[in-house]
Amino acid sequence: MPLACKVYELKGATLDRIIEALEEGSPGVAARRTGTGAVGSVELAEGLKVPFEIYNFRGKPFLVVFAGRRRAAKAARILSRLANVEVLEISLRPERVLEAFAGSVIKLVVFDMVRVPGLRRVVLSGAAVSDSELYKEFAATSEIRYVLFQTSDGLVLGVSDSCTIVALSKISAEDISSTVKEYLLPLISPLA
């Protein structure tokens, strides 16, 4: 089963204050400090426990929720309320992701705002999408919303422009968290 996570920026409190607020607890939320932040889980209304991690990057607190987009948004709203912080969507340019993972093979790409009458979105998929003329044409004139690629070491990742990451390879939550910290967080920018 694919492992997904979504990354948010937290605004309105320091990392220590956020962790203190979550450690004080609330039914359905468990959090504990780590050397660099905190890990925990939040229980959603349907009884599902969703793991999360909070840590600083470039002096700002970030939240990584290990779930798909909808469940991550629910968990983030609960954590926001408990820690009295604002949860901000972040933007990630898929073009920069591809630069960070140079040598990766693009398997699928979703282009938005294409300049073809009657079309708004185009999906290209195949063994090596980036080698096609269509890819080059759309990349020059459209916005990339999602890219699925295989890294040189065999990891298959899907990354959206709203910083939702899906690992289609067998990977642990710790490994995907490390990938987010090492490769993806340096590429983000807050949405206006």
C-alpha dist (Å) from residue 93 to 56, 100, 186: 21, 11, 11
Core vs surface per residue 123-154: b (16+ CB within 10 A) or e = ebeeeebbeeeebeebbeebbbbbbbbbbeee
pLDDT at 1: 62
Domains and CATH numbers, the chain: 3-90 (3.30.310), 92-187 (no CATH)
Q: How far is CA 71 from the centre of its chain?
A: 13
Could you please report the per-residue DSSP string of 90-102?
EEE-HHHHHHHTT
Ordered per-residue pLDDT tens for the chain, 192 residues: 679 999 999 999 999 999 999 988 778 899 999 988 999 999 998 789 999 999 999 889 999 999 999 999 999 999 999 999 999 998 887 777 777 777 788 899 999 988 888 888 999 999 878 888 988 888 888 888 899 988 888 889 999 988 999 999 998 888 888 988 888 888 886 543
SS3 call for 13: coil
